[in-house]
Structure 1
Amino acid sequence: MVTNIGKKDWIFLVLCLALGILAEESFFHGQIGISYIVFVVAFYLVFYWRSHRFSFSHQRFGYLVLCCIWLLSASYFLNDNMLFYALNTMVIPGLIIFHLVLITSPKSFRWSQPAFVIFLLTRLLEAIKYNAAFAAYLGKSINRGVDEEKLLIWKKVLIGVVISIPVLAVVLRLLITADTEFERIVGGIPDWFRVVDGESMFRLIIILIYTVAFFGFIQVLFQKQIKVIKQDIIAAQSQKLDSIIAITVLFLINTVYVLFVLVQFKYFFSGTLQGDLTYAEYARKGFFELLFVTMINLSIVIAVVTMGDRGKKGLKMVSQIMLTILVLSSAVMLCSAFLRMGLYEEAYGFTFTRVLVHSFMIFLAVIFTYTLVKIWVEKLSLFHFYFITSLLYYTAITVIDLDQIVVKENLNRYEQSGKIDIQYLNSLSGTGVLGLIELYERDQTLPGLQTILLERQKEARTQSTSWESYNLKKEQAKKKLQSLSI
């Protein structure tokens, strides 16, 4: 695979080493903050330097994915939500790999096909093979012109040193225990040879891993394009759901859903509780209905729309009507769950999870609306819309800071009802602290609030932050705490 390494390749290897150093510095020194967007900017600068003569494909969609990557990376600087902090450590690298493979794939290749997954995984496998071949190439280059006999001697000496290390460790330990003077003399010897400690060795290993990963993967992207196996697509297209079977299943499911909606429609939208249910039980029940039933319904609709054999014109019309009823029934359940969650928030206040669930309901409403249109307009692509909408939704809820919405709504609720959970606001880190400061400025007599702010103020005055962990929300909270008079 590696037959000729030019000057540009060596320069690129050095740049990958610099990226490896930056990655280790950005991600392994405390909490990630502004360092993520700094690394992403540097990474793409190196990538575009390496590929400035390459003709990219799928550029419009590629720019959309790139913008989402940059916004998600910037969220580490703008917000400090721990859920998205953890998720983005996996989502952003996955999107970067997807983006690079996408824009370097053949122009005629459709990314929405199943074969694209095979193409992407093959690229990753080729990167591993390239690094192995490059290591072998380096080994041959180093050994070239070296006396084989001398090389063999040095290899044997190295083997002898490796074998003697555990023996020497045991012997020295016994001798040091036996004689105090010998311990004093020998005890300081390891310090003479201590060039790197364990932490430095770990950092070096991390840097090398990043270096070879960047170098091998990007180098492979510009190699001759591999042939993509498309048998899986042909096999998938040949497998169709029988139209009569699909209609029968849809009819039975719709019968249950229509009966359920008719029976329960009154209390679904009455805003009152049924029986002896509490607000918590009422809301949770609605949420699980949303989570399971609507997702099951959506899966059924997708399976029938994408794999169903509509058959003759009459059967096709019946299938479309059955799918439409299924989608509309799901919409009723979605509205019910949305209203229930609103009741729960009105009674117990707003939390990150409740606001996230509300946003996910709106996202599902958009998905179901498009799916309903797709049932009657067959030329539309479900996967294109689902992927792009999901990407935009996830990017939006990450960047807009749902914690800020939670704080704002809870403060508004406090103005109306006098109820607020200050301990929960305190758990929202920088955004929550800013909300507590605003609450303190409105009402300094709220029980427990002064104690929390005093503890936070003490932390702000003693805590130091490295550049990697710099976060806008935390810095704003820190400055307000330091200037706050309690």
Structure 2
Amino acid sequence: MSDHTTAPPVVSQYQAPAPPLFDSFWPRPESGATRALLAALISGAAAAVFIPLDGPGIGWTLFGALAAVALLFAVRDARIGRLLWAAAGLLLLSVCALRSAEWLSALCVLTSAVAAALAVSGARAVRELVLMTVAVPVAACRALPWTARGMRGRVRGSRALRMGFSGLVALLLLLVFGALFAGADENFARIADAVVPELDFETFFRATFVFVPFTLLALGAAFTALRPPRLDPAGGERRTLRGPEWAVPIGVLVALFALFIVVQATSLFGGPEHVHDSAGLTFSASARSGFWQLTLVTILTLPVIAAAARWAPRRSAAERNLLRGLVGALVVLTLVIVGSALARMWSYQDAYGYTVLRLLVMTCEIWLGIVYAMIIAAGVRLRAHWLPTAILGTAVGALLVLAAVNPEGVVAGANVTRFEQTGKIDPEYLATLSADALPSIDRLPADLGQSVVLDINANAGELSWRSWNLTDALNRP
């Protein structure tokens, strides 16, 4: 019998470190750092070279095309949803090469950024769409160490690194000895001035404040496209309210909407006849009294419908029919209010003239009407997984249609037609428009139209090649 006792097993106290904060739900891509960095550098260089700083122009279109090609090379993902959103973003940027209106180009550039985010992420659910508002900037910060680690093994001792260092030495020698030769001979100095770009403030600004941010954003976009963030779907049974708990508030709101429409039926749809028959009422007062309130009602009804769809129970056929009935009634009544707002604004413009802001308001009201029609379609089967992206898609489509019809040309043409019918016009307002309005302004009498044309051309000033657009090329001298 042995006197030795068995020693207890040694239990290791080591615990693996917890993953970084973001890696738990958004892990880094396993590969692609080299392609992502190359795509980011190409995108940043394209931004620095092409993006116009003095107005809209073809530079935005060229930048978008190069950046899209570079990111497609980096991601190598040709899913149809991503390609459609990328195409929508490029169409929006192409407006900058076609139209001269700065406000329209600004709207298109901002909306193209949203389309690009959707193309990068492939987001569809509401929570994913909300997450994408911060995903790319966050990814730009996370992509820097990821890219550095991915490149470290490639450049260490590589021939490409040695050739890159050799190129830097050659550039340094060229600058030093070229500057000495330029100072020694005037003819050589003229050649150097023609070849070497002028290092002015704009060049410095483009190299520092355009190249760097766009490079970082493109790197974050490539990072996101290679590994989009995904939120886990809510587990367990969906929590809902009892029938009366949600039906009573919605029912009260439906009754309120119906009562308002009945009481205001004459003023809502009376049009010019109602204004003429009402003592002391003007078109301005008729359109402005309540117009913005009705527009706000139209917008605020959307989250109310979303809350009802989220919290209403759907276990039985009766519960589903109650949801369809109350929400459907609310949507139909809201569409009536949308039609009222459009009628008021149309009467106001017919009496006081047409402006771009009024046309934009009408376009937004029409788009909201389309959104409510889609809500009705989703409510038929109580399935709305497609609705968030459809809403964004119709917003992009509405902006593209607006750009296609040339809003400033439409506004100018409507004002000229009104002048031909009534003799009333506001030349000072027409002078604030862009070259998009020039074809319509040519219909004015020479003594009136010439001064407007001169003011429009003077306001535009001299533009760089990056700011070239088709409207200026066709209509400005």
Q: TM-score, normalised by structure 2?
A: 0.74
Is 2:439 the counterpart of 1:396? Answer: no
Percent identical among aligned pairs is 21
Give the secondary-structure state (helix, strand or coil) at the position aligned to 1:96: helix
Give the direction of change, closer, same or farther, for the CA distance of 1:275–1:63 in structure 2 (3 Å limit).
farther
Structure 1: how far apart are the matches of 2:100 and 2:319?
53
Structure 1: how far apart are the matches of 2:132 and 2:450?
58
Cα distance, 1:34 vs. partner? Answer: 0.5
Give the direction of change, closer, same or farther, for the CA distance of 1:434–1:385 in structure 2 (3 Å limit).
same
**1:23 aligns to what?**
47
Give the direction of change, closer, same or farther, for the CA distance of 1:48–1:428 in structure 2 (3 Å limit).
same
Give the direction of change, closer, same or farther, for the CA distance of 1:310–1:423 in structure 2 (3 Å limit).
same
Residue pair 2:47, 2:211 contacting (<8 A) in 1 also:
yes
**1:234 aligns to what?**
235
Residue pair 2:408, 2:433 contacting (<8 A) in 1 also:
yes
Structure 2: how far apart are the matches of 1:3 and 1:374?
39
Q: More relative contact order in 1 or in 2 (CA 8 Å, sep 6+)?
A: 1
- Of 469, 472, 478, which residue of structure 1 is paired with 2:470? 472
Give the direction of change, closer, same or farther, for the CA distance of 1:436–1:55 in structure 2 (3 Å limit).
closer
Give the secondary-structure state (helix, strand or coil) at the position aligned to 2:443: helix
State the AA in 2 paired with 1:378. L
Structure 1: how far apart are the matches of 2:41 and 2:72?
16
Is 2:75 the counterpart of 1:71? Answer: no
Structure 2: how far apart are the matches of 1:284 and 1:200?
48
State the AA in 1 paired with 2:464. S
Matches within 5 A, 1:292-307: 292-307=296-311
Give the secondary-structure state (helix, strand or coil) at the position aligned to 1:253: helix
State the AA in 2 paired with 1:234. G
Deviations 1:401-435 (A, max 9, x none): 21121122222222222222222121111023333
Structure 1: how far apart are the matches of 2:42 and 2:389?
37
Structure 1: how far apart are the matches of 2:455 and 2:250?
59
Give the direction of change, closer, same or farther, for the CA distance of 1:408–1:455 in structure 2 (3 Å limit).
closer
Residue pair 2:93, 2:112 contacting (<8 A) in 1 also:
yes
**2:206 aligns to what?**
203
Structure 2: how far apart are the matches of 1:350 and 1:133?
54
**1:377 aligns to what?**
381
Structure 1: how far apart are the matches of 2:222 and 2:408?
37
Give the direction of change, closer, same or farther, for the CA distance of 1:238–1:349 in structure 2 (3 Å limit).
same
Cα distance, 1:230 vs. partner? Answer: 0.9
Give the secondary-structure state (helix, strand or coil) at the position aligned to 1:238: coil
Aligned residues: 405
Cα distance, 1:42 vs. partner? Answer: 1.4
Q: Mark the runs of 5 or more structure 1 residues left unpaired by the alignment.
A: 103-109, 145-194, 480-486
Residue pair 1:425, 1:433 contacting (<8 A) in 2 also:
no
Residue pair 1:77, 1:470 contacting (<8 A) in 2 also:
yes
State the AA in 1 paired with 2:205. F
Matches within 5 A, 1:136-151: none
Give the direction of change, closer, same or farther, for the CA distance of 1:416–1:371 in structure 2 (3 Å limit).
same
How well do the aligned residues superpose, as a CA RMSD in angstroms? 3.4
Matches within 5 A, 1:401-480: 401-439=406-444, 443-446=445-448, 449-455=449-455, 463-479=461-477
Give the direction of change, closer, same or farther, for the CA distance of 1:218–1:314 in structure 2 (3 Å limit).
closer
- Of 124, 144, 148, which residue of structure 2 is paired with 1:131? 144
Cα distance, 1:112 vs. partner? Answer: 2.3
- Of 78, 92, 109, which residue of structure 2 is paired with 1:56? 78
Q: Mark the runs of 5 or more structure 2 residues left unpaired by the alignment.
A: 1-27, 158-197
Q: TM-score, normalised by structure 1?
A: 0.73
Residue pair 1:23, 1:207 contacting (<8 A) in 2 also:
yes
Structure 1: how far apart are the matches of 2:114 and 2:305?
28
**2:286 aligns to what?**
282
Matches within 5 A, 1:302-381: 302-310=306-314, 312-381=316-385
Cα distance, 1:464 vs. partner? Answer: 3.6
State the AA in 2 paired with 1:96. A
